[in-house]
């Protein structure tokens, strides 16, 4: 299932790994993403681009009935994530992850990450210039509407 | 012999276990005044150079992101747009700043660089103060070798031409010769080739610096107006590589509304 309602249980189980969440303003968030159109993606990472000006995480999401949908998720600048404790290998191909993000306005399967939750419940900050950026201090806060 | 080899292996293993990045980010800044618990004492006095000037040297960053310079106005102030300035600004706001050159990795406005929550490093010598901006790997040279601000510029530029002088403990930087292409911030506050910017840097103590920026552009604004930034020293880190063109995909996806 690609789009899920906000799941309080999932969020409260999310241990906070990153305390600092530096934002990076590379571009106008609102020109590309809709902060009011959120998506929750549970799936498997297929590729990671640890690149400037933004990181990208590609995730395959299995929907009910077996159909697999591929999504691209934009994360913060690698510099911001690195200083917040990420490493280029923090998320790898094959990792199971749940990502909450803001959808792209052009309707494509692209989202701007708000939070990443790993299979073991650990939560990684997105370092976004939109929701999930500097105003939030943990994943529970980041995913609150 | 064996002990020596074992020690060498141990040392190599130890070295291998230290992430290379830790020697840049995470390496304790040499000479940093520290509290008893080892944390940097950001309230220590501002350091001075051998000639007695305040030293602005260090890596600085705004503690919070501000993409709109109007958020740094004095209370009761508004941006004094001319009709032309207002028209450009309103168009950019209406399209959510989708045409920002900065999103295409071109230079960003000097004022917003101090408020975007991206680190920059000041390197200060008697004749030159350089500002190295991590984001987009931009740099500026502020010349303090006695030359005046150019009265006429035959090759206007994105970042202009900067000279600096000291007014007591405040470093005053004047910049002119802009090409009018740069957006002063990320919401689209405009500039023209008539722009001059006066920045006043005052390091209050070791860890805190105020930057007042006066924007004078009579094509876009009816009078000079000022905005401010407060930046905080970033100890125990270094500038990291930022190659903006590496994977810039946003501009093609910025639909605006």
CATH of domain A32-142: 2.40.50.140
B25-33: long-range contacts (C-beta < 8 A, 24 or more apart)?
B25/A82, B25/A83, B25/B236, B25/B237, B25/B238, B25/B240, B26/B236, B26/B237, B27/B236, B27/B238, B28/B235, B28/B236, B29/B235, B29/B236, B29/B237, B32/B235, B32/B236, B33/B206
A82 to chain B: nearest residue by CA? B25
Report the C-alpha gap between B20 and A105 in whole angstroms: 39
Contact state of A27 with B249 under an 8 Å Cβ cutoff:
no
Domain boundaries of chain A, sorted by first residue: 32-142
pTM summary value: 0.85
Q: Determine contact: A121 vs chain B, CB below 8 A.
A: no
Q: Is the pLDDT of residue B213 over 70?
A: yes
Domain boundaries of chain B, sorted by first residue: 58-247
Q: Determine contact: A83 vs chain B, CB below 8 A.
A: yes
Contact B144, B163 (CB under 8 A): yes
Q: Which chain A residues contact residue B97 at CB under 8 A?
A: 27-28, 30-31
Contact state of B255 with A32 under an 8 Å Cβ cutoff:
yes
Size of interface A-B (CB pairs under 8 A): 102
Strands (E), B33-192: 58-61, 120-124, 128-133, 138-143, 161-167, 170-176
Output the CA–CA distances (angstroms, integers) from residue A54 to A69, A94, B40, B255, in the order listed.
22, 21, 30, 18
Probe site for chain A from B62, B247, B251, B256 (most A CB atoms < 10 A): B247
Higher pLDDT, B6 or B84: B84
**Of residues A49, A77, A104, nearest to B253 (C-beta):** A104
Instruction: Name the pairing type of β-strands A122-125 and A110-118.
Output: antiparallel
Per-residue pLDDT tens digits for B161-187? 999 999 999 999 999 999 999 999 999
DSSP for B155-224, written as a single string = S-BSS-EEEEEEETTEEEEEEE-B-S---SSSS-----TT-EEEEEEEEEETTEEEEEEEEE-TTTBSS-
Probe site for chain A from B116, B249, B252 (most A CB atoms < 10 A): B249
Tokens of B42: 């950001």
Q: Is the pLDDT of residue B157 over 80?
A: yes
> In which residue are the tokens 């028209």 written?
B87
Higher pLDDT, B13 or A12: B13
Q: Which class for A59: exposed (0-12), middle (13-18), buried (19 or more C-beta within 10 A)?
A: buried
pLDDT score, position B138: 95
Probe site for chain A from B254, B256, B257 (most A CB atoms < 10 A): B254
pLDDT score, position A84: 86
How close B133 gets to chain A, by Cα (Å)?
A: 13
Report how far Cα B111 is from the mean position of its chain's Cα atoms: 8
Q: What angle do CA B200, B202, B204 make, to 5 degrees?
A: 160
Q: Is the pLDDT of residue B221 over 50?
A: yes
Instruction: Name the pairing type of β-strands A56-62 and A15-16.
Output: unpaired
Report the C-alpha gap between B182 and B192 in whole angstroms: 8
Q: Which range is least confidently modeled, A61-70, B8-17, B74-83? A: B8-17
Q: Determine contact: A99 vs chain B, CB below 8 A.
A: no
User: Of A97, A133, A117, A107, which Cα lies nearest the Cα of A34?
Assistant: A107
Q: Determine contact: A77 vs chain B, CB below 8 A.
A: yes
How close A81 gets to chain B, by Cα (Å)?
A: 12
How close B253 gets to chain A, by Cα (Å)?
A: 6
For B7, residues 6+ apart whose C-beta sits below 8 A from its C-beta are: none
How close B69 gets to chain A, by Cα (Å)?
A: 14
Contact state of B250 with A87 under an 8 Å Cβ cutoff:
no
pLDDT score, position B257: 82
pLDDT score, position B122: 98
Q: Which class for B97: exposed (0-12), middle (13-18), buried (19 or more C-beta within 10 A)?
A: buried
Report the C-alpha gap between A11 and B117 in whole angstroms: 27
3-state helix, strand, coil in chain B (%, to 5): 20, 30, 50
Tell me the three state secondary structure of residue A101: strand
For B29, residues 6+ apart whose C-beta sits below 8 A from its C-beta are: B40, B235, B236, B237
pLDDT score, position A30: 92
- Name the band, by pLDDT with cuts 50, 70 and 90, for residue B150: very high
Run of H or E including B229? strand B225-233
Contact B22, B186 (CB under 8 A): no
pLDDT score, position A140: 55
Probe site for chain A from B91, B94, B99, B118 (most A CB atoms < 10 A): B118
pLDDT score, position B21: 62
pLDDT score, position A8: 34
Contact B156, B177 (CB under 8 A): yes
- Residue A85 has, within 13 A of its CA and on its CB side, a CA count of 11
State residue A103 phi and psi, 5-degree precision.
-75, 150
Contact B59, B121 (CB under 8 A): yes
Q: Kindly give the confidence (pLDDT) of every residue in chain A, 145 residues in length, as a single tens digit, with 9 standing for 90 and above.
A: 444 333 333 333 333 333 223 344 678 899 999 999 999 999 999 999 999 999 999 999 998 898 999 999 999 999 999 998 889 999 999 999 999 999 999 999 999 998 899 888 888 876 665 554 433 334 555 554 4
- Name the band, by pLDDT with cuts 50, 70 and 90, for residue B10: low
Q: Which range is least confidently modeled, A81-85, A130-134, B235-239, B241-245? A: A130-134
Q: Which chain B residues contact residue A51 at CB under 8 A?
A: 246-247
* Percentage of chain B modeled with pLDDT above 70: 91
pLDDT score, position A139: 58
> In which residue are the tokens 């051998």 written?
B50
- Name the band, by pLDDT with cuts 50, 70 and 90, for residue B200: very high
**Of residues A23, A53, A105, nearest to B248 (C-beta):** A53
């Amino acid at each position: 299932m690609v789009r899920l309602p906000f799941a309080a249980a999932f969020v409260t189980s999310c241990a906070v790994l990153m305390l600092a969440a530096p934002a990076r303003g590379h571009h106008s968030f609102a020109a590309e993403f809709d902060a009011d159109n959120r998506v929750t993606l549970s799936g498997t990472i297929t590729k990671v681009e640890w690149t400037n000006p933004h990181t990208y995480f590609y995730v395959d999401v299995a929907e009910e009935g077996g159909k697999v949908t591929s999504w691209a998720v934009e994360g913060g600048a690698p510099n911001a994530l690195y200083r917040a404790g990420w490493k280029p290998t923090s998320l790898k191909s094959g990792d199971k992850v749940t990502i909450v993000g803001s959808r792209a306005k052009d309707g494509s399967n692209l989202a701007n990450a708000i939070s990443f939750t790993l299979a073991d419940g650990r939560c990684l900050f997105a370092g976004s210039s939109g929701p999930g950026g500097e105003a939030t201090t943990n994943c529970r806060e980041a995913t609150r509407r | 012999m064996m002990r020596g080899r074992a020690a060498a292996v141990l040392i190599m293993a130890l070295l291998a276990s230290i992430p290379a990045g830790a020697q840049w980010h995470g390496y304790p800044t040499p000479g940093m005044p520290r509290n008893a618990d080892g944390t940097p004492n950001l309230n220590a006095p501002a350091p001075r150079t051998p000639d007695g000037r305040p030293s602005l040297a260090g890596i600085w960053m705004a503690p919070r992101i501000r993409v709109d310079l109007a958020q740094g106005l004095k209370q009761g102030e508004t941006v004094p747009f001319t009709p032309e300035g207002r028209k450009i600004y309103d168009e950019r706001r209406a399209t959510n700043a989708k045409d920002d050159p900065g999103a295409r990795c071109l230079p960003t406005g000097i004022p917003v660089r101090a408020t975007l929550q991206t680190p920059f490093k000041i390197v200060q010598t008697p004749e030159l103060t350089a500002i190295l901006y991590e984001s987009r790997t931009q740099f500026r040279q502020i010349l303090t070798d006695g030359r005046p601000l150019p009265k006429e510029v035959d090759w206007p530029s994105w970042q202009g031409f900067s000279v600096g002088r000291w007014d007591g403990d405040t470093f005053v930087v004047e910049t002119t010769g802009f090409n009018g292409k740069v957006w002063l911030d990320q919401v689209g506050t405009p500039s023209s080739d008539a722009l001059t910017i006066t920045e006043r840097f005052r390091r209050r103590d070791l860890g805190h610096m105020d930057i007042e920026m006066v924007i004078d552009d009579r094509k876009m604004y009816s009078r000079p107006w000022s905005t401010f930034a407060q930046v905080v020293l970033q100890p125990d880190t270094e500038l990291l590589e930022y190659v903006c063109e590496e994977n810039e995909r946003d501009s093609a996806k910025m639909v605006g509304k």
